[in-house]
Amino acid sequence: MTLTVKSVARVSLVSTLVLAAAGAAVLAASPASGAASTLAAAAQQSGRYFGTAVAANKLGDSTYTGILNREFDMVTAENEMKMDATEPNQGQFSYGNADRIVNQARNQGKRVRGHALAWHSQQPGWMQNMSGTALRNAMLNHVTQVATYYRGKIYAWDVVNEAFADGSSGGRRDSNLQRTGNDWIEAAFRAARAADPGAKLCYNDYNTDNWSHAKTQGVYRMVQDFKSRGVPIDCVGFQAHFNSGNPVPSNYHTTLQNFAALGVDVQITELDIEGSGSTQAQQYQGVTQACLAVARCTGITVWGIRDTDSWRASGTPLLFDGSGNKKAAYTSVLNALNAGTGTTTPPTSTTTTTSNPGGGGCTATYSEGEKWSDRFNGQVTVSGTDNWIVTVTVSSPQRIIATWNTSASWDSANVMTARPNGSGNTFGFTIMHGGNWNWPTVSCRVA
């Protein structure tokens, strides 16, 4: 009889695990019911945008434009607004390809980020060998002409792109523009403000994601200085090109928050993360949550649509595969956006141990399990006895919605008491987090 009961319990346990696994698969493949089903709609729920870089020569590709029109509400020209594209000969401006992108976006009700007015790279040949006052004036004329041409059509301009040096100096990058004088950046911002007073004016750079990096600190000091002296800067763009050598930093939220505290908006402007599968999906989730957790993070732009559209296609760094199918990374971003503001980056460590405070002969060890936008799994392993009683306490608004490998009861909404059910000394549970990613506390005693 006892055997029969045990075998029924085991069958039921197996069913529960299969169902839990199936549920996880469903969660990973589609948004929760009632949630927004596109990136733009999901971002709009918290007043944010979700954008992409667009290449003019792909606008005839119906798979490409289909995804563009459906998923994104902000557009950046990947190359077509750069200095070499818009002023190929000095004083002769060329807006054909940029206009195709701007018009396509605006006809579809999307906004446009302008990229980029002044940059040491992608300069037209005539500018590359200029210096001194002639170069300064040519740069300022370029800023004025292009920003004036697009006045009223641009949500935010990357006024200056990538002006800081990599490495440990925290100083400016050497370039022909820098050699015209350290004030070239503020001069560019003033010219842009005069030309299009309605556009937000951003400084944009890469490798500025990690708060402890010298380059991040250098840009921070410049923005702080600009704000203190009334230089017209409204936003800082974080390009966010990540790979295994340059991973998403665990302090990303700190970086975004500290810049925002200077009184500027922050935007993730060129996001791509090399990799695949759940690792890539989790990193995308972390970046999305870092933005959502900062009130002045106004939106996220990914640097291309399909992996094959990427400037580094071999790293498969985007949200759609080469056929236009949604990747796991897409779903993790969508779910994170649907979970909304107030979420924080999940903890990164994997285990913690809480011994019985009374020293009663057993130890309960908590380990992190899978994480989704709205819930996470945990498990507890008990050592020291097979006859245990473990208390698991979660903090509001968390609630435990499922358990396995244990017989559990609840003393209150937050406190669960778990006992062995014949399945060994490791049991698990699922917590709806409600925006609170804190681990539960666990303690055990011998029954």
Residues at the contact surface with ligand G3I, assessed by CB under 6 A: 78-79, 122, 161, 206, 239, 270, 311
Residue nearest to ligand G3I (CB): 311
Q: How far is the CB of 206 from ligand G3I (least distance, A)?
A: 6
Q: How far is the CB of 174 from ligand G3I (least distance, A)?
A: 18
Q: Which CB atom, from 113 or from 445, has the smaller least distance to ligand G3I?
A: 113
Active-site hit among 78, 162, 270, 274: 270
Is 78 tagged catalytic? no
Q: How far is the CB of 86 from ligand G3I (least distance, A)?
A: 13
Q: Which CB atom, from 303 or from 439, has the smaller least distance to ligand G3I?
A: 303
Q: Which CB atom, from 126 or from 311, has the smaller least distance to ligand G3I?
A: 311
Q: Nearest 5°: phi and psi at 100? A: -60, -40
Q: Which CB atom, from 270 or from 274, has the smaller least distance to ligand G3I?
A: 270
The C-alpha angle with vertex 202 and arms to 199 and 205, in degrees rounded to 5, equals 150
Q: How far is the CB of 389 from ligand G3I (least distance, A)?
A: 57
Q: How far is the CB of 403 from ligand G3I (least distance, A)?
A: 47
Q: Which long-range CB contacts under 8 A does 105-108 form with residues at least 24 apart?
A: 105/54, 105/75, 106/153, 108/68, 108/69
Q: How far is the CB of 267 from ligand G3I (least distance, A)?
A: 13
Instruction: Catalogue the active-site residues.
Output: 270
